[in-house]
Amino acid sequence: GENVEQHPSTLSVQEGDSAVIKCTYSDSASNYFPWYKQELGKGPQLIIDIRSNVGEKKDQRIAVTLNKTAKHFSLHITETQPEDSAVYFCAATGYSTLTFGKGTMLLVSP
């Protein structure tokens, strides 16, 4: 089955800096890669996704890149703000279920 590795497990940045979270996957047949943000005590919320026919996607301060050859994809957050502090999960599809990475705790200091 699919295996998703996510790094780093914790990331601390100063407000205004950029943050990058990286994931690799194992199943070359996977074609959908969402990113979720989970705030404390809440369920994960989809923030951006990318499909395998696209190399990059951007939504305001958030961007995701995908390298299908290398089987890795990354989340980029620019001009970070304290409200970006949360746990971020990457995921990749299997045939019926999403496989998630173990999460990255992002801490943005004012």
By CB under 8 A, residue 47 contacts another protein: no
Rank residues 80 and 104 by Cβ distance to another protein and give the closer one: 104
CA dihedral 101, 46, 105, 109 (to 10 degrees): 160
Q: Which two tokens stand for residue 51?
A: 């499909």
Binding positions for another protein, 4-33, rule CB under 8 A: 9, 31-32
Closer residue to another protein, CB minimum distance, 67 or 97: 97
Q: Judged by CB under 8 A, does residue 93 bind another protein? A: yes
DSSP code at position 72: E
| Binder among 11, 13, 62, 105 for another protein (CB under 8 A) | 105
Considering the complex, state which of residue 39 and residue 79 has its C-beta at the smaller distance from another protein: 39
Give the three-state DSSP class for 84: helix
Alpha carbon distance 76, 58 (integer Å)? 9
